[in-house]
Amino acid sequence: MDDSSVTIVGAGLAGSEAALQLSRAGIAVDLYEMRPAKLTPAHRSGRFAELVCSNSLGSVEPTSGKGLLKEELRILGSALLPLAEASRIPAGKALAVDREEFGRRVTEAVRAEPGIRIREEEAEAIPEDPLVIMACGPLASDAIASAIRGFLGDDGFYFYDAISPIVDAETIDPEASFVADRYGVGTGDYLNLPMDRERYEAFLAALLSAKTVAPREFEEPRYFEGCMPVEEIARRGPDTLLFGPLRPVGLRDPRTGRIPHAVVQLRKENAEGTMYNLVGFQTRLAYPEQKRVFSMIPGLSSAAFLRFGKVHRNTFLDARRHLQPWMECRRRPGLFFAGQITGVEGYVESIASGLVAAISAVRRAAGRDPRPFPRESMIGALMERITTPGPDRPEPMNANFGLLPEVAVRRKRGRKERKAEVALAAARRAAGWDGAMGAVERG
Ligand SMILES: Cc1cc2nc3c(=O)[nH]c(=O)nc-3n(C[C@H](O)[C@H](O)[C@H](O)COP(=O)(O)OP(=O)(O)OC[C@H]3O[C@@H](n4cnc5c(N)ncnc54)[C@H](O)[C@@H]3O)c2cc1C
């Protein structure tokens, strides 16, 4: 390998996107992929960019998080997005693909690049080459996962994620909530949704009977006490939630002067306070069930869910501590991470992070410093979000409108459209950057 070539580990969504970008920019790539000789617990084939679960890459509407992200990827010249579109099958406003055809097209495109050397083997250590992109995914092999953990340290690396839902602040009913910190200690970052006994019991009954997503055979059951699904806590007894995520102690409702029977706490998810996280509501409930059951919480009857909760097997690092917003390791310049392992969540988000890592590596290869994408764009906002310090454990993040900076609008209804316009303009500017996409000379 010469000093300007790049070694990539993993030919999934992020690794394939990165490899194609780099090769088209005239940079030689060594691409490690362990499949088909060694499969992950979810992959079934040797095809690159195999989709392991749903065949949908989400909405194409530019007023949805994933739709806007796709639009930006198109502007930025994503290699995988056109291949997904060429493999599209009808699914209304979603981009669903024939997964075999998509994987076949990606594999052919990667194999057709003369600058990509495919190494059909497992990488067991982080390569020592000057420029490396680690894109080994949420089901990274044990050997590489322990090599990464050895490099980053135990507390910077996770094997499960437990995500609570996030709601749009504008859709929470202010009449049903009060701002307070438990025992009055804090800076007023919590919004509290009180429940009386009757509401609590109705909520509990709905929670206990709601449909959950069955865990995959390699996923279960290794809950840590701190990230136990809310429905599992509820199953332990009718009052357990009152000593857990719905505990009211220390939260006096200023409107009644009393401590409510139960309280759901929402915590600001960003500095602007445009998104709120349902504290302790990590869950395995199916998405429509989350909407139905959590909308029973007073104040959330019209809530827009920006992210649903999840508990699943994942391998991801604490990007807040370890990565720059351009996906480069803080401790080792020239080492990049891409895909789900960075703490993004989802197929399109993983492709986006592969694109960002590739663009950053192109700049490093040219002896220049990488730069972050504008935070007005969805891609820049997402990368900024996962790399910005916050409280507690890191939680993987999807593309959603709550990440975008607020915009001035006359009518609330035009807010998303305006945010999308600003984001697309920022993505167009980034696509024209000298040295960002400008350095990626397309063949
Ligand atoms: C079970 C499961 C289901 C999911 N379902 C969805 C869903 O329905 N929708 C959605 O949007 N997101 C889903 N995700 C999340 C995520 O979007 C996908 O996992 C996505 O494929 C991540 O892209 P990636 O490029 O980071 O990793 P992957 O696409 O998994 O690519 C990683 C690649 O690295 C290879 N590899 C691993 N270790 C090594 C090694 N040591 N040496 C060489 N190669 C290696 C793997 O074989 C794989 O090809 C799911 C995740 C999991 C785990």
Both 33 and 73 in one domain: the answer is yes
Both 87 and 155 in one domain: the answer is yes
Q: What is the pLDDT of residue 375?
A: 96
Q: What is the pLDDT of residue 220?
A: 57
Q: What is the pLDDT of residue 395?
A: 87
pLDDT above 70 as % of the chain: 95
Q: Of 308, 330, 357, at which residue does a domain stop?
A: 308
Place of tokens 């399109």: 348
Quick check: is 1 in a domain?
no
Do the beta carbons of residue 315 and residue 140 sit within 8 Å?
Answer: yes
Both 189 and 228 in one domain: the answer is yes
Mutation test residue for ligand 1: of 53, 121, 144, 161, the one with most atoms within 8 Å of CB: 53
CB environment 373-387: b (16+ within 10 A), e (fewer) = bbbbbbbbbbbbbbb
Tokens of residue 199, six digits: 């509401």
Q: Does the beta carbon of 141 lie inside 6 Å of ligand 1?
A: yes
Domain count, the chain: 2
Residue 271, Cβ density class (10 Å: 0-12 exposed, 13-18 middle, ≥19 buried): exposed
Quick check: is 159 in a domain?
yes
Q: Of 253, 283, 308, at which residue does a domain stop?
A: 308
Global confidence as pTM: 0.89
Quick check: is 434 in a domain?
yes
Q: Does the beta carbon of 442 lie inside 6 Å of ligand 1?
A: no
Q: Does the beta carbon of 123 lie inside 6 Å of ligand 1?
A: yes
Do the beta carbons of residue 12 and residue 48 sit within 8 Å?
Answer: yes
Both 299 and 183 in one domain: the answer is yes
Quick check: is 430 in a domain?
yes
Quick check: is 49 in a domain?
yes
Q: What is the pLDDT of residue 409?
A: 83
**How far is the centre of ligand 1, averaged over its atoms, from the C-alpha of 340 (Å)?**
7
Q: Of 278, 308, 338, at which residue does a domain stop?
A: 308
Mutation test residue for ligand 1: of 139, 337, 382, 386, the one with most atoms within 8 Å of CB: 139
Distance from the Cα of residue 357 to its chain's centroid: 15
Which alpha helices (H) appear in 155-242, and where do they start and end? 197-209, 230-235
The CATH number of whichever domain residue 284 belongs to comes to: 2.40.30.260
Q: Does the beta carbon of 75 lie inside 6 Å of ligand 1?
A: no
**How far is the centre of ligand 1, averaged over its atoms, from the C-alpha of 43 (Å)?**
8
Q: Does the beta carbon of 340 lie inside 6 Å of ligand 1?
A: yes
Q: State how far the Cα of 300 lies from the Cα of 236, in Å rounded to an integer.
A: 25
Both 411 and 346 in one domain: the answer is yes
Both 30 and 153 in one domain: the answer is yes
Nearest CA to ligand 1 atom 16: 346
Both 249 and 383 in one domain: the answer is no
Task: Measure CA of the first residue to CA of the last residue in the chain; give whole Å.
Answer: 21
Both 18 and 46 in one domain: the answer is yes
Mutation test residue for ligand 1: of 347, 348, 382, the one with most atoms within 8 Å of CB: 347
Residue 115, Cβ density class (10 Å: 0-12 exposed, 13-18 middle, ≥19 buried): middle
Residue 282: which domain range?
A: 166-308
Tokens of residue 116, six digits: 């990509």
Both 158 and 180 in one domain: the answer is no
Quick check: is 80 in a domain?
yes
CA atoms 218, 224, 227, 229: torsion sign: positive
Both 346 and 235 in one domain: the answer is no
Q: Does the beta carbon of 303 lie inside 6 Å of ligand 1?
A: no
Both 66 and 19 in one domain: the answer is yes
Both 29 and 79 in one domain: the answer is yes
Q: Tens-digit pLDDT profile for the chain (443 aa)?
A: 566 899 999 999 999 999 999 999 999 999 999 999 999 988 999 999 999 888 999 999 999 999 999 999 999 999 999 999 999 998 889 999 999 999 999 999 999 999 999 999 999 999 999 999 999 999 999 999 999 999 998 778 888 888 899 999 999 999 999 999 898 887 887 999 999 999 999 999 999 999 998 877 666 555 555 678 999 999 999 999 999 999 999 999 999 999 999 999 998 888 888 999 999 999 999 999 999 999 999 999 999 999 999 888 889 999 999 999 999 999 999 999 999 999 999 999 999 999 999 999 999 999 999 999 999 999 999 999 999 988 777 889 999 999 999 998 887 778 999 999 999 999 999 998 744 444 443 32
**How far is the centre of ligand 1, averaged over its atoms, from the C-alpha of 52 (Å)?**
7
Q: Does the beta carbon of 176 lie inside 6 Å of ligand 1?
A: no
Q: Tell me, what DSSP letter sits at residue 388?
A: S
The CATH number of whichever domain residue 89 belongs to comes to: 3.50.50.60
Quick check: is 133 in a domain?
yes
Q: Does the beta carbon of 343 lie inside 6 Å of ligand 1?
A: no
Quick check: is 176 in a domain?
yes
Q: Does the beta carbon of 102 lie inside 6 Å of ligand 1?
A: no
Q: What is the pLDDT of residue 440?
A: 43
